């Protein structure tokens, strides 16, 4: 548990294991993230990152081990209970309300914590922050991929979580959009902790932080960005393949 | 003892008819994820095909075993081309469209044949067990259902057509990339399902009276058997039919046919609640 | 493709628009020199076949009356609505006939359920009602006339025959509804009256097709005879499976319904031979009225018409009974016609002498016991002038003209 | 749809509704008024499914279960009690509780959409089978026989609350049914603007995201389903009062199919469309029976097919597009279920 210099971590996984039938997707993972920390998870496809996120958000029940959020054991909690505790997730494929307008999308999220006029104000603030004002009354289903990603991010932010899980936030984005997303993450980081799964090394360097490397369901290395990215084992399992 | 044998035959017969009636629906659902609510009407059309053939002097066995699957298979092909192919991947819409189709067919059959009960003469006589008489035809239906099940298994498991069908249903894009004409495979599979429904209608024609609306009494049971069985067509139908058939018949013997069917439906509700993806969603994974 | 799709969409929308417009006002359809009658049978759905036959015999009766100069100097005009074997629609058409068409009389309703839906509506809006279907008995309503048979008229003879000729042990298979339930109670009573016993009674929903368990139960009970009170598509499957198991060689069958769905036409004669029935009417009745009726009927509706049963004959006789009452009253006015009918009217009809019983609003008539042979009912015995004694036990409209209900007659 | 600051979408139906409510009795004869009463009842039934299917995204293939429960609950209660105030409330309560129980069973069991359809269909089938086979005298609840296939004829109608001698005449029934229709319509409109209503719609769009935001989707679906069940029960209760009978056909597949067709034809994801669908098709049913050319099944089968294939959005959205043009494009109803593969990604 090196690197955890805060007395109580925000979220902590202990001996976390997940098996599907005969396949072990996650094996004995111990991981903890501090309040306000930005952590990157990297690893090749099938390393178990998505499964790990699913367990943190209550979509699947771990086979063994436990997950503690601010000291509360949350395995077995329903996804909405976990969300209410303060964990938000932006999934890899945008999970938004395609049949509703941008404004309505944000309203749904904003009204979780606000009532009446306060909801409208929160929506307006978020539209401004995400620079989506010009398309506020368009149907989300008709928007471009990048815009839908930001709207999803907006949905997550409006619930004011203590921890945000981002699953490949820059995937499929143009260069400009990627830069903008990185900036956004910089802003978000000031108010809450983040765990980011990403393949794009450029992007990771942009938001440079502590990195945990997953490989075949286990943690391979954990450390500061520069150290990890230059680690030979990491290059072997992951970067090597990707570079080739 | 003789009574027990008779009861035994009846229970097995109930299971066998459930398999026979559901098989076509299961192929279409299991392989294509299409819920065909006009399945009952396909059965009824099989029955009418047999009736017409008998009226035209065709040998009874040919009329109930050969004519219906061919006739209904062809109708199935037309239905697939005209309606179903526009709705692949949209389960709810397929369900509604086929429901419309079912009403439409009932209307057409009524317009053509009227609503008087039709039937086909029974080609086999009864036999004696102890002091009891049993229907020879029921025993034939049991044997024939098993035979059909086996034939479909062989077709899907060992023939080129079966391989193509399974491959396409697993991953249509990949199959297309490999040069399989997926449109044709879908059409043929749907026609096969329809033909099996027609066959069931033909085989049951001598037992049950046929009216345009009698599809309704089959669809409920077939629907529940298939969904209770889950994605694996053959294993699913067989296991669900075993479960529901025995529960239903046991209750029928203990009380009356109404509570028999209620027991069957309740068993289905409980099963779906426990195993939301059907029996083969949990057990027998990867079976056909 | 695109074009046709768009135009289809357009026409679909247009159709819905017209449909949504409020209904146009329609005044009463009656002209001064016409008497309007409503024919409300199920011409589609489960009762379609028999409904069409009933509507045809009704049509023949009306055409005959009109051809011979009409009724009290007026022509009869028929408005026909299809009840679609649907109760909600039955209620709507009863309202339409009474309130909009303002008909002089309604003939119709096949199932007891549709009768009990329409009867209160026709009472409420003061429209005379003739119910022309054999039923379980007990309707007691001054506005309603039931002109077909009830169990005391036919079932009594049938069961008495079974007990006397075949043996004392019977078994009942009945459709699971009012008619089946009440009729099987009567069967039990009549069997006991003859010193017989009923070994078992089973009720079936209309769509049961597998009688395997029933056949086993029947064999275990080993009765001398089975009586079927089945309706719908069910009976055919039963007779067939019964014969397939070879049971028709060992156990006799009689029925309160066989033939009215033309079952004998579909069954082979070896499956249907020996089934005994008892009805007010069957085509094999030998009298001058019947011969004449059949000649006219086939001339009008063709020679290939399936054999007529008691139900269509009741429609025919019902119209004739109503027409006779109008003549007697000299008016089609509801109360006058009711009084004329209550005064008693007797007609010679194809089924024999046919007389209105003013006390019960039911009819006294001949019933005929027959056995099927080569798909034809051969008459064994005729019982003249059977009164509706079941309904008479509970209903006296002369004493209680305001009575209005269907009694469930206590059997035993 | 605002023109010069006026909410046309509220005013147009409001004015139409009030005009019909007070205008029709002046112009219509008794027969037509009885028919319009029936159409109003069917429109309430259509609204109940339009709400849970079109907005809640819950496919209920056995909606007749709640309609029938309301009908039977009223009939049995009123025969036993006599005075109709309590029976009216019981008729809404029973289907509401039934919907709540079934909904709890389904949604807290996380049963997927298509299976919800199957479950509800099965429920309606069970009720139909059971009620249909209770014609024996031994089946009764209190003084009321259940009646099996024939059902219960001569059910006493509603009276002025707490005044059993003052029963409603057809004119009163018209005001009651039409009035309730207007209340239900605007009630649902209002509900859809509340947080609960919006979350219910959001669940239809993306259940997972709603959970990630922190709303309990099971609870919302349960509430949506329960409200729809209760409204269907209300329609059933009114239906008994209209026809003075109740029969097992209120539970039938055909009854469920009809409601689905009304909603589909009118437009899934609208409230106004299904009402139009209910009125138009109920009217058509009666017209079909006045002529002997086209079989009713044939006609309705063809309508259902044509709409699924060619006008899947239903009449209302198509009409609105034509009338208001592209400028005020209403939200496209999201009716299309996502492909199977996407659905099965859920746990």
* CATH number assigned to the domain comprising residue C396: 3.40.50.2300
Closest CA to C131 of C103, C324, C140: C140
With respect to residue C60, please indicate whether it lies within any of the assigned structural domains.
yes
If you ran DSSP here, which 8-state letter would residue C74 be given? B
Tokens representing B125 are 């006589």
Is residue C285 located within the same domain as residue C141?
A: yes
- Taking the CA atoms of residue D282, residue D287, residue D292 and residue D294 in that order, the dihedral angle to the nearest 10 degrees is -60
Strands (E), A74-209: 87-90, 163-167, 193-197
Half-sphere exposure of D11 (CA within 13 A, CB side): 8
Token readout for D225 is: 């389903």
The verdict on A116 and A73 lying in the same domain is no
Which of the two residues, D248 and D338, has the higher pLDDT score?
D248
pLDDT digits (tens, 9 = 90+) for D319-330: 877 776 544 434
Last residue of a domain, one of A159, A187, A209: A159
What letter does residue C194 receive in the DSSP assignment? T
Same domain, residue pair A67 and A166? yes
What is the C-alpha to C-alpha distance for residues D230 and D57, in angstroms, rounded to an integer?
Answer: 17
Mutation target for A interface from D2, D55, D209: give the one with most A CBs within 10 A: D209
Of C82, C89, C177, the CB nearest to D148: C177
Q: Identify whether the C-beta of residue C368 lies closer than 8 Å to the C-beta of residue C379.
A: yes
Question: Distance (Å) from the C-alpha of residue C2 to the closest C-alpha of chain B?
Answer: 14
Q: How far is B21 from chain C (nearest CA, A)?
A: 13
- Angstrom distance (rounded) from CA B71 to CA B64: 11
The tally of domains found in chain A comes to: 2
- Domain membership flag for residue A228: yes
Q: What is the pLDDT of residue C405?
A: 87
The per-residue pLDDT for C38 is 96
pLDDT of residue A241: 52
Q: Which of C252, C279, C306 is the last residue of a domain?
A: C279
Residues 6+ apart with CB under 8 A from A168: A92, A197, A198, A199
* Contact of B208 with C237, CB cutoff 8 Å: yes
Facing B7 at nearest CB: one of C44, C209, C216: C216
**Domain count across chain C:** 2
Contact list in D for residue A101 (CB cut-off 8 A) is 331
Give domain limits for chain B.
2-213
Mean pLDDT of D148-159: 88
Tell me: do A232 and A115 sit in the same domain.
Answer: no
For residue B129, what pLDDT is reported?
Answer: 79
**What CA–CA distance (Å, rounded) separates B286 from D332?**
39
pLDDT value for C18:
38
Same-domain check for residues C144 and C293 = yes
- Please report, in tens digits, the pLDDT of each residue of chain A (244 residues total): 444 455 678 999 999 999 887 788 888 999 999 998 999 998 888 788 888 999 999 998 999 999 999 989 998 899 999 999 999 999 888 889 998 999 999 999 999 999 889 999 999 999 998 888 889 889 998 998 888 888 999 999 999 999 999 998 888 888 888 888 888 888 889 889 999 998 888 888 888 788 998 888 888 888 888 888 888 887 777 655 544 3
Q: What per-residue confidence (pLDDT) applies to C30?
A: 56
User: Tell me, what's the pLDDT at B285?
Assistant: 67
| Domain-embedded: residue C293 | yes
Least Cα distance to C273 among C230, C239, C225, C309 occurs for C239
Q: Which of residues 258-277 of C touch B (CB under 8 A)?
A: 261-263, 265-268, 271
- Torsions phi, psi of C106, nearest 5? -110, 125
Is there a single domain that holds both residue A65 and residue A167? yes
pLDDT in tens, C131-159: 999 999 999 999 999 999 999 999 999 99
In a domain, C374, yes or no: no
Partner D contacted by A104 (CB < 8 A) = yes
The whole domain housing A70 covers: 1-86+161-244
User: What percent of chain D has a predicted confidence (pLDDT) above 70?
Assistant: 90
Q: CB D334 to CB A88 under 8 A?
A: no
- Residues A113, A233, single domain; the answer is no
DSSP, residue by residue, C250-262: TSEEEESSTTTT-
Longest CA–CA separation in chain A, Å: 55
Mean pLDDT of chain B: 86
Instruction: Please list every residue in chain C whose beta carbon sits closer than 8 Å to the beta carbon of residue B136.
Output: 244
Q: How far is C13 from chain D (nearest CA, A)?
A: 6
Please tell me whether residues A33 and A2 are part of one structural domain: yes
Low-confidence ranges of chain B (pLDDT < 50): none
Q: Considering only CB atoms, which chain C residues are within 8 Å of B213? A: 45-46, 233
CATH number of A35's domain: 3.40.50.300
What does the alpha-carbon distance between residue C105 and residue C175 come to, in Å, rounded to a whole number? Answer: 31
Q: Cα(B178)–Cα(B180) distance, rounded to whole angstroms? A: 6
CA distance B196 to B215: 15
Q: What is the pLDDT of residues D82-117, one digit of tens each?
A: 899 999 999 999 999 999 999 998 899 888 777 888
State whether A73 and A175 are in the same domain. Answer: yes
- Does C7 fall in a domain? no
Interface mutation target, options A108, A137, A142, chain D, most CBs of D under 10 Å: A108
Residues making up chain D, counted from first to last: 347
- Does D243 contact C88 at a Cβ distance shorter than 8 Å? yes
Other chains touching A, judged by 3 or more CB pairs under 8 Å: D
Give me the pLDDT at residue D343, please: 32
The answer to whether residue C20 scores a pLDDT higher than 50 is: no
Please tell me the least confidently modeled range out of B84-88, C365-369, D197-201: B84-88
* D36 Cα to chain A: minimum distance (Å): 35
D38 and chain C in contact, CB less than 8 A = yes
Residues 121-160 of B with CB under 8 A from C: 121-122, 124-128, 131-138
pLDDT at C98: 94
Closest CA to D48 of D337, D260, D217: D260
Same domain, C263 and C342: no
Tell whether C378 is covered by a domain: no
- pTM for the complete prediction? 0.86
- On whether both A37 and A136 belong to a single domain, the answer is no
Helix axes D253-266, B91-113, angle to 10 degrees: 120
Per-residue b or e along C294-308, where b marks 16 or more CB atoms closer than 10 Å to that residue's CB = beebeeebeeeeebb
My answer on whether C294 and C412 are in the same domain is yes
CA-CA-CA-CA torsion sign (C87, C97, C128, C49):
negative
| Token code pair at residue D170 | 């057809």
Specify the pLDDT at position A5: 52
Distance CA D256, CA D59 (A): 11
Mean pLDDT of D281-303: 81
Residues A2 and A112 in one domain: no
Which residue in A141, A64, A130, A54 sits closest to A91, CA to CA?
Answer: A54
- Asked if the structure places residue A207 within a domain, the reply is yes
CB-side neighbour CA atoms (13 Å) of C59: 13
**Domain range for residue C171?**
152-279
Strand (E) positions, chain D?
2-3, 6-7, 140-141, 144-145, 159-160, 163-167
Q: Measured on CA atoms in the order B59, B63, B65, B71, is the torsion positive or negative?
A: positive
Nearest beta carbon to residue A79 from set D202, D212, D332: D212
pLDDT at B147: 95
Which of B37, B100, B225 is most worth mutating to test chain D (most D CB atoms within 10 A of its CB)? Answer: B100
Average pLDDT value for chain C: 88
- The answer on C409 and C304 residing in a single domain is yes
All residues of chain C having their beta carbon less than 8 Å from the beta carbon of residue D316 are: none
Of the residues B20, B115, B222, the best mutation for testing chain C's interface (the one with the most C CB atoms within 10 Å of its CB) is B115
- Domain boundary residue, one of C258, C279, C300: C279
* Alpha helices (runs of H) in chain B, residue ranges in sequence order: 2-32, 39-55, 60-65, 67-82, 91-113, 136-158, 160-170, 172-177, 182-204, 215-229, 233-254, 257-274, 279-282
SS3 B3: helix
Residues A124 and A191 in one domain: no
C111 contacts D150? CB cut-off 8 A: yes
Task: Select from A126, A159, A192 the last residue of a domain.
Answer: A159
For an interface test with D, give the residue of A80, A81, A84, A163 to mutate (most D CBs within 10 A): A80
Q: What is the C-alpha to C-alpha distance for residues C263 and D52, in angstroms, rounded to an integer?
A: 46
Written as six digits, the tokens of B229 are: 């069985």
* CB-CB under 8 Å, B93 with D308: yes
Domain C-terminal end among C279, C314, C344: C279
Residues in chain A: 244
The verdict on C349 and C286 lying in the same domain is yes
pLDDT for residue B256: 72
Please tell me whether residues C275 and C286 are part of one structural domain.
Answer: no
d(CA D100, CA D224): 10
| DSSP code, position D332 | P
Complete DSSP assignment for D24-91: HHHH--HHHHHHHHHHHHHHHHHHHHIIIIIIT----TTTHHHHHHHHHHHHHHHHHH-SSHHHHHHH
Torsion of CA D36, D41, D46, D47, to 10 degrees: 110
Q: Enter the tokens of residue B228.
A: 């209770």
**Chains with 3 or more CB pairs closer than 8 angstroms to B?**
C, D
Are C72 and C92 part of one and the same domain? yes
pLDDT score, position D295: 77
What's the CA gap between C245 and C259, in Å, rounded? 22
Asked if C touches A (at least 3 Cβ pairs < 8 angstroms), the answer reads no
- Say if C9 falls within a structural domain: no
Helix (H, G, I), strand (E, B) or coil at A43: coil
Chain A residue with minimum CA distance to D335: A99
Give the separation between CA A37 and CA A86, rounded to whole angstroms: 15
């Amino acid at each position: 548990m090196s690197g955890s210099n805060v007395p109580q971590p925000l979220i902590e996984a202990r001996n976390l294991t997940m098996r599907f039938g005969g396949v072990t997707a996650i094996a004995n993972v111990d991981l903890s993230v501090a309040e306000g920390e930005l952590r990157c998870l990297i690893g090749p496809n099938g390393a178990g990152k998505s499964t790990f996120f699913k367990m943190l958000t209550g979509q699947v029940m771990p086979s063994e081990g436990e997950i503690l959020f601010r000291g509360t054991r949350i395995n077995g909690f329903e996804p909405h209970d976990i969300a209410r505790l303060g964990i938000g997730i932006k999934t890899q494929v945008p999970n938004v309300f395609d049949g509703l307008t941008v404004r309505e999308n944000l309203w749904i999220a904003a009204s979780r914590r606000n009532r009446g006029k306060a909801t409208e104000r929160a929506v307006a603030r978020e539209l401004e922050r995400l620079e989506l004002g010009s398309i506020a009354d368009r149907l989300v289903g008709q928007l471009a991929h990048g815009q839908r990603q930001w709207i999803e991010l907006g949905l997550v932010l409006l619930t004011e979580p203590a921890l945000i899980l981002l699953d490949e936030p820059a995937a499929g984005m143009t260069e400009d959009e990627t830069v903008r997303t990185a900036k956004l993450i910089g802003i978000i980081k000031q108010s809450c902790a983040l765990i980011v799964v990403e393949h794009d090394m450029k992007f990771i360097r942009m938001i440079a932080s502590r990195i945990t490397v997953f490989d075949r369901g286990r943690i391979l290395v954990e450390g500061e960005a520069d150290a990890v990215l230059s680690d030979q084992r990491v290059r072997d399992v992951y970067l090597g393949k990707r570079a080739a | 003892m003789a009574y027990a044998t008779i009861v035994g035959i009846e229970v097995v017969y109930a299971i066998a008819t459930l398999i026979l009636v559901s098989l076509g629906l299961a192929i279409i659902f299991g392989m294509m994820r299409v819920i065909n609510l006009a399945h009952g009407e396909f059965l009824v059309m099989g029955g009418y095909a047999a009736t017409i053939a008998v009226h035209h002097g065709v040998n009874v066995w040919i009329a109930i075993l050969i004519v219906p699957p061919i006739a209904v298979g062809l109708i199935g092909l037309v239905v697939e081309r005209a309606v179903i192919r526009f709705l692949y991947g949209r389960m709810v819409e397929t369900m509604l469209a086929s429901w419309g189709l079912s009403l439409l067919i009932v209307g057409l059959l009524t317009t053509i044949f009227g609503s008087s009960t039709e039937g086909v003469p029974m080609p086999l006589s009864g036999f004696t067990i102890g002091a009891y008489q049993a229907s020879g035809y029921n025993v034939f239906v049991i044997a024939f259902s098993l035979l059909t099940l086996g034939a479909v298994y062989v077709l899907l498991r060992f023939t080129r057509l079966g391989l193509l069908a399974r491959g396409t249903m697993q991953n249509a894009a990949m199959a297309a990339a490999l040069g399989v004409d997926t449109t044709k495979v879908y059409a043929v599979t749907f026609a096969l399902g329809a033909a099996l429904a027609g066959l069931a209608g033909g085989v049951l024609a001598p037992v049950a009276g046929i009216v345009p609306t009698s599809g309704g009494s089959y669809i409920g049971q077939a629907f529940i058997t298939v969904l209770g069985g889950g994605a694996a067509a053959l294993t699913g139908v067989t296991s669900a039919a075993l479960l529901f058939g025995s529960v239903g018949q046991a209750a029928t013997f203990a009380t009356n046919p109404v509570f028999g069917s209620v027991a069957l439906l309740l068993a289905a509700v409980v099963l779906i609640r426990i195993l939301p993806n059907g029996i083969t969603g949990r057990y027998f994974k990867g079976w056909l | 493709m695109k074009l046709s799709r768009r135009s289809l969409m357009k026409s679909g929308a247009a159709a819905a628009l017209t449909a949504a417009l409020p209904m146009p006002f329609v005044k009463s359809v009656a002209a001064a020199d016409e008497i309007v009658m409503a024919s409300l049978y199920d011409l589609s759905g489960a009762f379609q076949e028999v409904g069409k036959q009933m509507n045809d015999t009704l049509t023949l009766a009306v055409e005959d009356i009109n051809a011979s100069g009409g009724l009290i100097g007026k022509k009869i005009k028929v408005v026909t609505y299809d009840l679609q074997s649907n109760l909600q629609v039955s209620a709507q058409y009863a309202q339409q006939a009474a309130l909009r068409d303002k008909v002089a009389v309604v003939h119709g309703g096949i199932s007891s359920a549709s009768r009990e839906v329409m009867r209160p509506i026709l009472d409420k809006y003061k429209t005379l009602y003739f119910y022309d279907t054999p039923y379980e008995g007990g309707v007691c309503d001054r506005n309603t006339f039931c002109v077909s048979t009830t169990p005391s008229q036919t079932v009594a003879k049938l069961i008495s025959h079974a007990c006397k000729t075949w043996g004392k042990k019977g078994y009942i298979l009945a459709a699971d509804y009012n008619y089946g339930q009440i009729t099987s109670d009567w069967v039990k009573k009549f069997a006991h009256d003859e010193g017989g016993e009923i070994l078992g009674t089973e009720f079936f929903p209309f769509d049961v097709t597998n009688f395997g368990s029933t056949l086993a139960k029947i064999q275990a009970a080993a009765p001398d005879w089975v009586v079927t009170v089945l309706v719908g598509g069910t009976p055919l499957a039963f007779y067939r499976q019964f014969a397939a198991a070879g049971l028709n060689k060992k156990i006799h069958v009689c029925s309160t319904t066989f033939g009215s769905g033309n079952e004998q036409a579909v069954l082979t004669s070896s499956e249907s031979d020996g089934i005994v029935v008892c009805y007010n009417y069957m085509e094999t009745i030998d009298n001058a009225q019947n011969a004449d009726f059949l000649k006219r009927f086939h001339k009008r509706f063709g020679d290939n018409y399936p054999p007529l049963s008691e139900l269509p004959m009741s429609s025919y006789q019902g119209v004739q009974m109503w027409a006779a009452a109008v003549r007697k009253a000299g008016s089609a006015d509801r109360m006058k016609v009711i009084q004329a009918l209550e005064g008693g009217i007797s007609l010679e009809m194809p089924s024999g002498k046919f007389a209105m019983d003013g006390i019960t609003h039911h009819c006294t008539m001949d019933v005929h016991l027959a056995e099927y042979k080569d798909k034809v009912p051969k008459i064994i015995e005729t019982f003249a002038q059977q009164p509706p004694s079941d309904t008479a036990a509970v209903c006296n409209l002369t004493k209680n003209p305001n009575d209005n209900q269907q009694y469930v007659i206590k059997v035993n | 749809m605002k023109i010069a600051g006026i909410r046309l979408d509220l005013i147009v139906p409001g004015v139409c509704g009030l005009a019909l409510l007070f205008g029709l009795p002046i112009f219509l004869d008794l027969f037509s008024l009885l028919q319009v009463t029936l159409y109003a009842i069917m429109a309430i039934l259509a609204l109940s499914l339009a709400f849970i299917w079109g907005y809640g995204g819950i496919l209920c293939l056995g909606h007749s279960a709640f309609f029938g429960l309301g009908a039977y609950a009223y009939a049995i209660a009123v025969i036993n009690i006599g005075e109709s105030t309590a029976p009216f409330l019981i008729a809404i309560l029973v289907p509401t509780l039934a919907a709540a129980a079934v909904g709890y069973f389904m949604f807290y069991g996380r049963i997927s959409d298509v299976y919800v359809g199957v479950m509800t269909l099965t429920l309606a089938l069970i009720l139909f089978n059971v009620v249909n086979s209770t014609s024996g005298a031994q089946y009764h609840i209190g003084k009321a026989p259940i009646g099996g296939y024939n059902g219960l004829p001569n059910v006493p109608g509603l009276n002025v609350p707490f005044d059993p001698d003052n029963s409603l005449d057809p004119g009163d029934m018209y005001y009651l049914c039409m009035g309730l229709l207007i209340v239900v319509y605007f009630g649902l409109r209002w509900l859809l603007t509340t947080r609960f209503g919006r979350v219910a719609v959001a669940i239809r769009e993306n259940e997972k995201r709603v959970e990630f935001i922190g709303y309990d989707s099971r609870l919302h679906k349960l509430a949506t389903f329960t409200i729809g069940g209760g409204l269907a029960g209300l329609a059933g209760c009114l239906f008994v009062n209209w026809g003075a009978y109740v029969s097992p056909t209120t539970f039938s597949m055909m009854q469920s199919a009809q409601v689905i067709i009304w909603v589909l034809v009118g437009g899934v994801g609208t409230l106004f469309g299904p009402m139009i669908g209910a009125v138009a098709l109920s009217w058509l049913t009666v017209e079909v029976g006045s002529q002997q050319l086209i079989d009713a099944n044939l006609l309705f089968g063809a309508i259902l097919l044509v709409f699924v294939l060619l006008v899947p959005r239903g009449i209302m959205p198509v009409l609105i597009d034509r009338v208001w043009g592209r400028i005020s494009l209403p939200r496209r109803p999201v009716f299309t279920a996502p492909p199977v593969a996407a659905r099965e990604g859920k746990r």
